[in-house]
C-alpha cells in the first residue's frame, strides 16, 4: 500500500510540473511572436543603412571619419577594447546562455587584449560565469525584455563618444543572431571601428558598371549622419535578435520539458497499475487462502 501511495504522489508531482512547463511554453510562444515581429521589422532598416554606406563608400572615394579611422589625435595610452555580452535575465532557456558564454570564452582565449579590456554585461545569467572564471565586469546593464530604441541609442552614443575620444580602441558585441525559428547562432559583431565596404569591391566587379551620384549635401556630411545611424541600428538589431532567440530557446526547452513530463507520467501510471494489480492479487490470494483454511 505504501508503494502505490508513493507512486501516486510522484504522478501528481509530475502532473503539476507538466502544467507549469506547458504554461511557460505558451508564455514564451506569445513573447516570441511579438519579439520576432520587432526583429524582422527593424532588419530592413539596418540593411538599408548599410547599403547606403556601401554606395557612399564606392562612389565617394576615400572617406575619412573618426568612427572608421579612429580619433584624429590617436588613442590614449590606457585605451582598451570593449566587449558587450548580451545574456538573459532568466534561465530555463536551454543552451542559450551557454553558447554565448562559450563564444565569449573562445574570443578571450584567442585575444588576450579583449579579456584585459572593459567587459560589459547585459543580463544576470552571465554574472556567475564571469565571476567564476575571474573575468571582471566593468558595467552591467538591465534593459528588460523589450528595450526601446532610445535606450539602445543612449548606449550606442556613449560607445561612439568614448571611441572618438580615444578611450576605447574597439567595441565588440557578443549576442545570439536570429536567423529563423529553427536556427540561431552566436555571433561576434565588430561594432566599432565601423568598416563599410570599400570602393571597388566584388559587387562592382560582378556588375561591371559604376553608378555616379551627385551628393547634396556633400559626401562628408552624409557620412556624418549615416555612420552614427548605422552603429545605432546595428546595436538595436543585435538586441532584438538576442531577445527573440532567447524566447525561441525557452519555448523549445519548455516544450521538451512538457513532453518529458508527459512521458514520465505515462511510465509512472504503468508502474502504478502494475503495483496496484499486484496488491489486488495479493489481497485476493490472502482472502482465498483464509477461506480455504476455514473449510
Output the 3-class SS for 45-94. HHHHHHHHHHHHHHHHCCCCCHHHHCCCCCCCCCCEEEEEEECCCCCCCC
The closest of 107, 142, 98 to 122, measured between CA atoms, is 142
Residue 104 has pLDDT above 90, yes or no: yes
The CATH class of the 26-203+211-253 domain is alpha beta
pLDDT band (50, 70, 90) for residue 52: confident
Residue extent(s) of CATH 3.40.1380.10 domains in the chain = 26-203+211-253
CB 174 within 8 A of CB 123: no
For CA atoms 280, 286, 290, 292, the dihedral sign is positive
Band the pLDDT of 199: cuts 50, 70, 90. Answer: very low
Confidence of residue 61 (pLDDT cuts 50, 70, 90): low
Percent of residues, the chain, with pLDDT higher than 90: 51
Taking 90 as the threshold, does the pLDDT of residue 286 lie above it?
no
Q: Provide the annotated active-site residues.
A: 93
pLDDT at 216 over 80: no
- Residue 217, preceding bond cis, omega within 30 degrees? yes
The full 3-state SS of 123-152, as one line of letters, equals: CCCCHHHHHHCCCCCCEEECCCCCCCHHHH
Overall average pLDDT of the 147-173 stretch:
93
User: Which residue did the predictor score with more confidence, 52 or 166?
Assistant: 166
Indicate whether 209 pLDDT > 70: no
Q: Which of 48-57, 89-98, 266-275, 278-287 has the weakest average pLDDT?
A: 48-57
On average, the pLDDT of the chain sits at 86
Degrees to nearest 5, angle at CA 83 with 77 and 85: 160
Residues in the chain: 295
Beta carbons within 10 angstroms of residue 26's beta carbon: 13
Question: Reduced to 3 states, what is the DSSP secondary structure of residue 275?
Answer: helix
Task: Among 1.10.287.80, 3.90.1150.10, 3.40.1180.10, 3.20.20.140, name the CATH number for the domain at 2-20+256-294.
Answer: 1.10.287.80
pLDDT, mean of residues 26-50 = 89
Report cis status (omega within 30 of 0) of the bond before 74. Answer: no
Task: Report, as an integer, the average pLDDT of 49-78.
Answer: 77
The stretch 143-163 carries a mean pLDDT of: 91
Residue 203 pLDDT? 44
Residue extent(s) of CATH 1.10.287.80 domains in the chain: 2-20+256-294
Amino acid at each position: 500500500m505504501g508503494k502505490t501511495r508513493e507512486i501516486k504522489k510522484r504522478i501528481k508531482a509530475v502532473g503539476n510540473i507538466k502544467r507549469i512547463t506547458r504554461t511557460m511554453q505558451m508564455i514564451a510562444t506569445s513573447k516570441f511572436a511579438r519579439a520576432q515581429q520587432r526583429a524582422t521589422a527593424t532588419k530592413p532598416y539596418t540593411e538599408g543603412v548599410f547599403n547606403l554606406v556601401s554606395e557612399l563608400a564606392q562612389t565617394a572615394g576615400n572617406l575619412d571619419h573618426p568612427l572608421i579611422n579612429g580619433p584624429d589625435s590617436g588613442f590614449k595610452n590606457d585605451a582598451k577594447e570593449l566587449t558587450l555580452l548580451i545574456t538573459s535575465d532568466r534561465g530555463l532557456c536551454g543552451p542559450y546562455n551557454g553558447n554565448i558564454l562559450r563564444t565569449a570564452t573562445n574570443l578571450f582565449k584567442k585575444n588576450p587584449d579583449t579579456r584585459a579590456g572593459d567587459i560589459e554585461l547585459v543580463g544576470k545569467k552571465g554574472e556567475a560565469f564571469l565571476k567564476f572564471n575571474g573575468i571582471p565586469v566593468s558595467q552591467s546593464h538591465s534593459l528588460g525584455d523589450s528595450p526601446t530604441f532610445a535606450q539602445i541609442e543612449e548606449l550606442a552614443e556613449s560607445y561612439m563618444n568614448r571611441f572618438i575620444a580615444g578611450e576605447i580602441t574597439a567595441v565588440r558585441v557578443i549576442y545570439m543572431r536570429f536567423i529563423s525559428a529553427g536556427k540561431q547562432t552566436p555571433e561576434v559583431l565588430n561594432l566599432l571601428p565601423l568598416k563599410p565596404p570599400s570602393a571597388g569591391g566584388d559587387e562592382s566587379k560582378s556588375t561591371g558598371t559604376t553608378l555616379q551620384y551627385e551628393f547634396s549635401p556633400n559626401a562628408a556630411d552624409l557620412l556624418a549622419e549615416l555612420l552614427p545611424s548605422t552603429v545605432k541600428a546595428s546595436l538595436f538589431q543585435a538586441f532584438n535578435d538576442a531577445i527573440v532567440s532567447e524566447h525561441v530557446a525557452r519555448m523549445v526547452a519548455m516544450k521538451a520539458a512538457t513532453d518529458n513530463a508527459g512521458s514520465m507520467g505515462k511510465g509512472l501510471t504503468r508502474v502504478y497499475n502494475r503495483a496496484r494489480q499486484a496488491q489486488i492479487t495479493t489481497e485476493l490470494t490472502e482472502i482465498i487462502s483464509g477461506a480455504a483454511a476455514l473449510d
